[in-house]
Structure 1
Amino acid sequence: MVEYKIRSYRRSDYEVVRDLFSHGMSEYVPGVCIHVVTRPWVLFVISCMFLTLLCSSKSLILPVLAVTLVLALGRHVLGYCWSLYIDHCLKDDLQDIQKTYMEEQGSHFWVAEVEDRVVGTVAAKPSDEDEEELQLKRMSVRKDFRGLGIAKALSREVMGFARERGYRSVVLNTLMVQREAQRMYESVGFTKYMEFVLPTIYGNLVNFTISKYRYDVLPEK
């Protein structure tokens, strides 16, 4: 069993924390691509293109190559769009982690260490929607250290922080491709209370769903 410890963020963790977040989010690109390709209208368009080229060319090679090219192009575009989202996060709250989480009232940032190596992160800050809610953010665990209870321990760190500071609940958002994370949150007591499609043209086209979870903080007995 791997031994790990959870501690508060230090300035010296800056680069490794940002790198951990970037790599963790990049892992979702294949899942996003599969989600988009399996939308009914996308399958319909691809099927129509394939059949049209098959009938007009009388050859199987051309339609297969065309579909392959379209899928490869779509994968590239989706990967680029996802990288823009990652860059946005890096330039937002992760631009100055010390100021955003360690100096702001009611906020904090933790890292999980294994043999002095940062392998996990999580952050908390007051919710923009309700002053009695604490928002859990930036949960990430290195792929080769998952399944060891680190994510659960980081979640409980946020729960304890919320309880100590008198928050009524802890809330968080997950994307439709984060099924493993959703199961982990549910295992430590979070419940889904809302699900909605991103209110943009792109969000509606690909059914880009966001699930909101809540953990109700109970006072210590």
Structure 2
Amino acid sequence: MAFFHIRLFQERDYKQVVDVFSSGMQEHIPTAFRHMLTLPRTLLLLLGVPIAVALVSGSWLLAVACIFFLLPFLHFLAGQPWKNYVSKCLHTDMADITKSYLSVQGAGFWVAVSGGQVVGTVAAQPVKDPPLGRKQLQLFRLSVSSQHRGHGIAKALVRTVLQFARDQGYTDVVLETGLLQKSAVMLYYSMGFRKTGESFMNFLMWLVDVSVIHFIYPLPSAQEHEL
């Protein structure tokens, strides 16, 4: 069993936090690529383009070579949403974690530490325009290093955010996660989150069929108050 504790982010954690987060996101690229290869539009591309090349050039050898060109291109395409997402995060809220989270009222950034190393991260910020009558906290940046999974660290990090939300008087915790992030989706369902919708963040994510699931966790205290 892995021993760990959770505490607020400190500036000296920054490099390790970035490594855990970036590595965790890029692990999804092979899954996205395999998923992309099952899409009808991808199969049509892999069949249609070589056939068109063969008909135009009269060379089946060139058609086969075309497939070997298309596969690396598709792998590159499948990886772009994840790489773009990491780049965006590192140039926005994660460029200065203290400023984005610890200096903001009702926000926070926590790390899980084991053996003196950061092995997990999670963050939360207030939702700027919540539904009328609601005070919502959005969970971000949940990631656990591959060597430390299966020990309840992700669940403990989510519970940290839920407890923080209760203490701060929030009515709900909301989050978004990719459909292909199977373990994360299962975790949120198992902890009582419920799905509220599904969408694509941009055209590229639609193209590779990587949708985003929206979740909500109504806090018990808010439910009891409504009763």
TM-score surpassing 0.5? yes
Distance 1:188 1:57 in 2: 58
Deviation string for 1:15-68 (max 9, x for gaps)? 111111111111111122223332212211211224445666575x54333212
Choose the corresponding residue for 1:180, options 177, 180, 183. 183
> C-alpha displacement at 1:114, in angstroms?
0.8
Structure 2 unaligned regions, length at least 5? none
| 1:94-109 → structure 2 map (5 Å cutoff) | 94-109=94-109
* Match status 1:151 vs 2:158: no
Q: Hey, what does 1:48 align to over in structure 2?
A: 48
Runs of 4+ aligned residues of structure 1 deviating over 4 Å after TM superposition are 52-59
Structure-2 residue corresponding to 1:137: 140
Corresponding residue of 1:84: 84
User: What pairs up with 1:1-221 in 2 under 5 angstroms?
Assistant: 1-53=1-53, 57=58, 59=60, 61-80=61-80, 82-130=82-130, 132-198=135-201, 200-219=202-221
TM-score w.r.t. the length of structure 1 is 0.90
Distance 1:185 1:125 in 2: 18
2:6, 2:113 within 8 Å by CA — same for their partners in 1? yes
Shift of the 203–114 alpha-carbon distance from structure 1 to 2, 3 Å rule, reads closer
Conserved in 1, the CA contact under 8 Å of 2:196 and 2:215?
A: yes
Please list every run of 5 or more consecutive structure 1 residues that lacks an aligned counterpart in the other structure. Answer: none
Q: Give % identity.
A: 37
Quote how far apart the aligned CAs of 1:208 are.
3.2
* Post-superposition CA distance 1:154-206 (Å, at most 9, x none): 000000000011100101001121111100111111111111233x4334433
The farther-off stretch of 123-132 and 77-86 is 77-86
Task: Name the aligned partner's letter for residue 163 of structure 1.
Answer: R
Are the equivalent residues in 1 in contact too, given 2:7–2:111 (CA < 8 A)? yes
Q: Give the drift of 1:142.
A: 0.2
Q: Which amino acid aligns with 2:150?
A: G
**Kept in 1: contact 2:77–2:208 (CA 8 A):** no
Number of positions where the alignment pairs a residue of Structure 1 with one of Structure 2 = 219
Letter in 2 for 1:69: F
Deviation track 1:126-150 (CA, whole Å, cap 9, x = no partner) reads 0133160100000000001111100
Q: CA RMSD in A?
A: 2.1
Structure 2: distance between partners of 1:62 and 1:129: 55
CA distance in 1, matches of 2:166, 2:64: 57
Q: How many Å separate the matches in 2 of 1:108 and 1:203?
A: 28
Counterpart of 2:174, as a letter, is V
* Cα distance in structure 2, aligned partners of 1:80 and 1:185: 25
What is the TM-score normalised by the length of structure 2?
A: 0.88
